[in-house]
Structure formats: C-alpha cells, structure tokens
Amino acid sequence: MFGFKHRNVARALVLSAPLSVSLSAFADDVPAPAAAASAPPFARTVVAAASAGSQTVVVAAARQKLDAARNGLSPDTGSNVFKFGEADIDALPMGEATPLNQVVLQAPGVVQDSYGQLHVRGDHANVQYRIDGVVIPEAISGFGQSLETRFADNIDVLTGALPAQYGYRTAAVVDIKTKAQAEGTSGSVSATGGSNGHHEESGEIAGAKGPLSWYLTGSLLKDGMGIENPTSSRSALHDQTQQTKGFGTLSYLLGDDSRLNFMFGVSNNHFEIPDVPGQTPQFSLVGDPTVNSAALDARQRERNAFEVLSYQGHFGDATDYQLSYFHRETDVHYAPDPVGDLVFDGIAADVRRKNTADGVQLDSSHALGKTHTLRGGMFFQHERFTVDNQSSVFPADADGNQTSTTPISIADDTRIAGNLWGVYLQDEWQPVKSLTINYGARFDNVDTVVDEHQLSARLGVVWDASTSLRLHAGFARYFTPPPTEKIDTTSVAKFAGTTNALPSDADTAVKSERSNYFDAGLAWDATSNLSLGVDAYDREVRNLQDEGQFGNALIYSAFNYAKGRVRGLELTANYKLAAFTAYGNLAFSKAEGQQIVTGQFNFDPEEITYIASHWVHLDHDQKVTASAGASYRFATQTTLGADALFGSGLRSGFANSEHLPSYTQVNASLSQAWDFGGWLGKVDGRLSVLNVFDHVYELRDGTGIGVGAPQFGPRRTVYASVTKSF
C-alpha cells in the first residue's frame, strides 16, 4: 500500500550469481549481495559463529545460496515489475490478512471486479501464479481466493512483454516468494473481528534445525458478507461465508548445492448466494407454491488443493536448475434453491465442475562467461475435467413460453482429458554494462477440446541511459490455451423445447488466443526521494478469449471473439522522505473485440449480429483506473495510513455500449506495535476502515455481455485485529 517500489524493469540484470535486490522504494540500482538482503519475518535471527557454531553458519549460507540461485532462474528483463515487500504488505489496511487479490489491486493497470476478480491490462483473467518459481495450476473461477497473503515474504507482479520462460497465462505473473526460516522456532497467532459479523483466526509457525526448515500457516474465517451485495443496502440477505485455508513448505538440504522442497496448499470455502427482495416469479410450478425472493437458499462450495515436490540443484560452477512435480484438484459445486430458481429463472441447475491436473516443470540457467546467461526449460500438464449437471426445467414452446407447470429433469454431464506442454530457450546478453538484451522463443502445444500449437518469439531490451534513467522495450508473441475448467459444455440439443432453450447451436470448442504484444517505457529517479515511471502497451489479438457468467450457477465460462485490440498507458510515482511514504498510479486502457466465434449459444441473436460487424468494448474494459496511498510511521511505533481506488466504471448495456458511473473508495488504517517484554513479549494491534466515506457504488448492474447479476462495492467496514508473536 505504501512506498511500493515500481521498476519498469528489474534492476538485477545478470542473475547467475547469488544476489538480491533491496525492496526499498529508492534502492540503488546496483544489486546487493545475498547476505545483505532484508530479512523476512521468520529470518530475523542473526546466525553468528560465536553463538551458533560453524555448522549452523554453513547451513544458513547454503540456504541463502540456493535461494539466490532459484531467483536467478526467473528473469524479468524487459518486463514491468511492481514489487510488494514485507513493509508494503504490512502497511495495507488489513496487513497480512489482506486478500491476495486486494494486494495485486494496488499495482498499476489492475481493475477490480465482482467476486474478487481482477483484470490486468484489459484481460478478463489470464493471470499466472507462481510460488518460489513453480507454476501453481489455476483454480476454477468462483468467489474464494485459494491463496493467502500471509505466507508471502514478497510479491512481484510482472506485466508487459515477458521473457520466453513465461507462457500460457501472461496478462500478469504474480510471483510469490515464501517466508524464509531461521534457526529455532517462531510464529504468531492473530484474531480479527469486525463489521457484518466478521471474525478470523489464524496462526503461523516456522523454523529450522540443521538441514530441515519449515513454515506452516492456517486460517478460519466467517463473515456475513461473503460475496458482493446485489443491492445497495448495508447488509446483504443470505450472504454468510465460511472459509478455511492452509499452506505449508518443508525444505531439506541434501548438501551445499542441492535441496528437496515440498509445498502444499488447501482451501475449503462455503458461500451463500445473496438474495434480492421484491422479485416477481416468471414461471409457475405445480401446486403454485408461494416463493419469497428474499428467502431463497442457493449455495456454492469451492475446494482447492495443490502439492508440489521440487528438487533444486547446481551443476559445476555455472548451472542451476529446479525440477518440480505438481498435483492439483479443484472443484466448484453450485446447489440451487430447487423451487426458487425454477419459478424465477425457469431452471434449477445443480452443477459441479471438477478439474484434476498433474505435471512437471523444469527451469535451468547456465552462465556463458560474463556476458551471456542461457535459460531453458519445459512444462507438461495432464488434466481431467468433469462436469456433473442435473437441471430441472419446464417444457416450453418454440417462443420459450412455458407449456407445463411440471418440471422435467435433464442430465448434462461431460468428461474431458487433455495435455498441455511447452519448451523454451532464451539468452540474456549484456554486450556492454548499460545494455541488456533478452531474446528467445518457446513452443507450446495444447490438446484438450482443441489441438493447437505455436512457436512464440520474445525480445526485450533494457538500456541504462544514465544512473537515474532506464528505458526498456519489448515484443512478445503469446499463445493462451483455453482454460479447460471454464469451457461451457452445455448441450444445446438436450435443452431444446424447454425454458432453458439456447438461442442457437454453436461451436463450444474454445480456441487458443494468439497475440502480438508490444511494450515500451521508462523508469526515472527524478530526485533522491521521487521515482517516476511511464509505460505504454499495444496488443493485437486473434481469437481473443473472454469469460462470462451465463445462467444461474455463478461459474464463469470462456468464449472467443474472432479478433481483439487492447492498448493502454500507465503512469506511476513513488515518494519517500524519512518516515513518510506515498505512491500513485494512473492507467488508461481500451479493450475491444469483434465477432463472437465460440459459445454463441450464450448470447442473444441481436447481440451476435451486432458484434459480428462492430468493435465492442469488453465487459471488463475500464477507461481510467487509479490508486494512491500514503503512510507515516511515528517514533512510537504507530503507523497511520490511507489509500484510495478510483475507477471510471465497467461496461454495461446492450453489447457493452454503456458504462457504469465512476467511483472512489478510500480506506484508512492505524496500527501500533508494543513490546511488553517477559512472557507477553511483542503484540501488534490494528484498526482498519474500508470505504471510510461509505460511498455507495455499483461494480456491475446485471447488464452487459456475460454479466449475470448486479454487484455493489462494500459499504463502510471496520476491522480490529490483534497479533501475538512468539
């Protein structure tokens, strides 16, 4: 939130040797040695030979060396990097309890949407998450965030023309480095309470002993506002949520140059679907039951779990590599109100989507002298996708008019299996000290509902024009396979002659998106306190992918426009003077598509015809987005801060021809640290207020392409939390 470091390119250009970059907003451009890296929360103990023994020092040094080598496997040369360090995360209104999507929202060009969705640079989703360099397979879309912020030591958000190492989901790469561990055991427990019956308990524990180190965290959250309110009222009807999450890492050193890592994450989230009072039934059910739209009981459950086993090693003097095996299971189950959904919408669909993925990932780097660093690797994933859909509908005539009050049941199940794989090779070349060129290519193939492939070239150039000015430019050819878990497999034929009859038969095989991405910008340290940045991008797209909510189940489905064009401009500023920090981001964007070529049955024929010959705004297109914040830390260990988000409004209306009113949300926080000594020790307290001025605004109004229902932003919300460290 406060004092974020924005660099249009990473300051570390040659990553073959152990090094780290300071997370201070105005660090020098020269990277510091690994030993000087700022210590994460559980690595504050200084390991000294005099007190811990030489063996402990050797083990700690081996961990640092391997951490630096793993960082060197993931270059960001030529791309935009927005960094959130430990202090930045702690300064957010809710600190480490801030949902991960709300952290990313503070980066430039990131637009908020309902159900916790984020749109980066005009993309609907297309965000890749990596933890310690390993790609975490994506979860099925829904409300819950399967990853938490509290296990992160730092978070990098990469956008722009990415190196060849990054494929598949490329609107942004959220690269999370987990907290490190020091000798001994440490941890914390936290409790948070607040508006809407919110309460959350969490804990974390970490440590190391000899070659073994560990970190574990878990949380339990209950809240009376699980997802966005479909009305402007302060409290939503039927909107309870309960969410449990856990994450852990175990690491074992096999020697000075190798280690084995195991990482896992789980989440089990339950949501009630909020009700809208005063609705009028549209259909008649046998027996003519009285149904109150304020008392419906639809629910959604989301479960996600992943496990990753990695081996990290070192060859000779110049080669580092990491080989990982991963497994992921994710499922979403929408349970309708069996009567209410029928009489209000003409269909009550009990839908479960489940996706299981297994795969391997290999990344390696090899230093060729002082001017070249070769990097190469591969990725393979096998997935199994199932849909169980049991729907109750009414018989209907050709015009959609109900012909019977007795519903019929239709089973519409699907099974899909497929593979995704790719290889890449790239060279980071530094012909002179001030110039770095990263060039390479990757080849990808997907065989699920489609069988497609592409060879993609990448090029990034970085020039240090002076000690305070850095310029960059890049080109990336992107290949984005369809998200298998979001492919709508609804059978048009099965629902013909019912109240869920679809407008037309169409192609359900969502195509891979192919795009040419151009990016250029600069980063300028205007003074010792003020840093400025500007970046422009342009993307020309074929088979542009988008997503929408079609039907009762609050699950997103993918479809394609034949072509798309996305362009924008981002401005950033950071200021730091002693204990005061401030930042500001301003982004302009325009994202358009033309001619829907898959999933046409989800649209009205009039919209299909219009979009076939007109460029239309994508539903998540927002012309202007801004964020800003400031904080001051007093000598009494008291921190006062505030931040704000501005949006000019998402799209609405026929074919997204309109947009919602603009909005501004201001948040504030006050935190205090105490050290009572003795058994009580260190305690932190925090008071957070979201939407300080209780501004009522709509994120969605229920109209527009793929928009299922209205959603309002949060009303004024107050949280208080206490954290006890040990």
Strands 710-712 and 580-596: unpaired
Q: How far apart are CA 39 and CA 284, in angstroms?
A: 65
109 to 120, 171, 584, 630, 690: CA distances (angstroms):
6, 11, 12, 19, 21
- Token pair for 649: 């409004």
Closest CA to 707 of 114, 24, 12: 114
Q: How far apart are CA 424 and CA 431, in angstroms?
A: 22
Closest CA to 548 of 249, 246, 145, 124: 124
CATH number for region 5-725: 2.40.170.20
- Rounded to the nearest 5°, which phi and psi values hold at 405? -90, 0
Ranges of residues in the chain whose predicted pLDDT is under 70? 1-58, 60-63, 65-66, 68-72, 74-78, 139-144, 503-506, 551-554
Q: How far apart are CA 377 and CA 621, in angstroms?
A: 35
Coil, strand or helix: which one is 104?
helix
Are 163 and 75 in contact by the 8 Å Cβ rule? The answer is yes
Q: What is the pLDDT of residue 46?
A: 29
Per-residue pLDDT tens over the stretch 33-51: 333 333 333 332 323 333 3
Per-residue pLDDT tens over the stretch 536-562: 999 999 999 998 877 656 678 889 999
Task: Return the H-helix or E-strand segment holding 82.
Answer: strand 80-84
Q: How far apart are CA 102 and CA 105, in angstroms?
A: 5
Question: Which residues have C-beta within 8 Å of that of residue 4, sequence separation ≥ 6?
Answer: 25, 82, 83, 84, 88, 106, 107, 574, 583
Q: How far apart are CA 591 and CA 451, in angstroms?
A: 27
Are 224 and 153 in contact by the 8 Å Cβ rule? The answer is no
726 to 175, 180, 208, 545: CA distances (angstroms):
28, 16, 15, 48
DSSP 72: H
What would you report as the CA-atom Rg of the chain, rounded to the nearest whole angstrom?
26
